[in-house]
Structure 1
Amino acid sequence: MLSTQPVDPLLLVTDLEVAREFYSGKLGLEVLFEDGEQFITFGCGGDTRIVVTKSSTGTKDEATQVSWRVDDIAAEVAELRARGVEILEFPDLNTVEGIADVGFALAAWFEDPGKNSLGLLQLKGDLGS
């Protein structure tokens, strides 16, 4: 059944080379395979992957499309900033140094060059185990 199968989120980008530099160069993800013209698949933790595919328009969605579960969000935010990734600030969420307390987790967000919203989550309590 699907409940036991890995999921590969698919993100739309207008420029695959710019996406490659961002996901591989700035986020440190390994390129698993690509076809050179239509998509690039990057490896993440466990058996998860992110696929970026070329689109003439890119994304129209502003909601978070992918989130990584992390153990130390402050360290991850610092590492991303050191690699040149802009961490977004949201005054309505009372972000401090780019990190918001959203109740069940600490969260931070950034965008890829295709304007896909990406996030980090440090789950709290039993959710984090």
Structure 2
Amino acid sequence: MSGIQEKASSAIVAVGDIERARRFYSDMLGLELVQDGMEDVLVYKTGATHLVVYPSEFAGTNKANAVVWDCGADLDAIAADLRAKGVQFERYEMEGVTYKDGVHDADGFKMVWFKDPDGNILHLNSA
């Protein structure tokens, strides 16, 4: 038997309105919907993993990052694409970190935060 460290994992996000979430994650973010037949549960492919979106009365109550994408050198281009689609970025003040066009830059390590329609915090970084 293999341990948990060898098993795949997925991010999971609670939303208040599944159709609004479908429009955001499919159209705004451009994620590939790979499954939607489980009673209002949406499964998106994101690289080698999956993002599960499901309805919950507790949607948007998490005040920390819900999902993070490691974007590498593509971060600036991805941020520009999201900005062009109307995604509003969060701005956080951090010592030694500059901010321009939605991108926080900590001496070359770049970070972007934005929220889905339910207030779930989504994060991109250049790792």
Whether TM exceeds 0.5 here: the answer is yes
TM-score, normalised on structure 1?
0.84
Residue 99 of structure 1: how far off its partner (Å): 1.3
8 Å contact from structure 2 (residues 98, 106) kept in 1: no
> Which residue in 1 is equivalent to 2:110?
106
Alpha-carbon RMSD across the aligned residues, in angstroms, is 1.8
CA drift at 1:21:
0.4
Deviation per residue, 1:19-56 (Å, 9 max, x gap): 0000000111111112364311111102x000011012
How many angstroms apart in 2 are the aligned matches of 1:49 and 1:110?
19
Runs of 4+ deviating beyond 6 Å = none
CA distance in 2 between counterparts of 1:104 and 1:4 reads 31
Residue of structure 2 equivalent to 1:56? 57
Gaps spanning 5+ residues in structure 2: where?
Answer: none
For 1:89, the equivalent position in structure 2 comes to: 91
Is the CA contact (8 Å cut-off) linking 1:37 and 1:54 kept in structure 2? no
Amino acid at match of 2:65: T
Q: Normalising to structure 2: TM-score of the pair?
A: 0.85
- What is the count of residue pairs matched by the alignment? 122
Query: 21, 24, 33: which one pairs with 1:22?
Result: 24
Identity %: 31
Change (3 A) 1:36 1:15: farther
Whole-angstrom distance in 1 between the partners of 2:8 and 2:107 = 27
Q: Tell me which residue corresponds to 1:13.
A: 15
Residue 110 of structure 1 aligns with an amino acid whose one-letter code is F
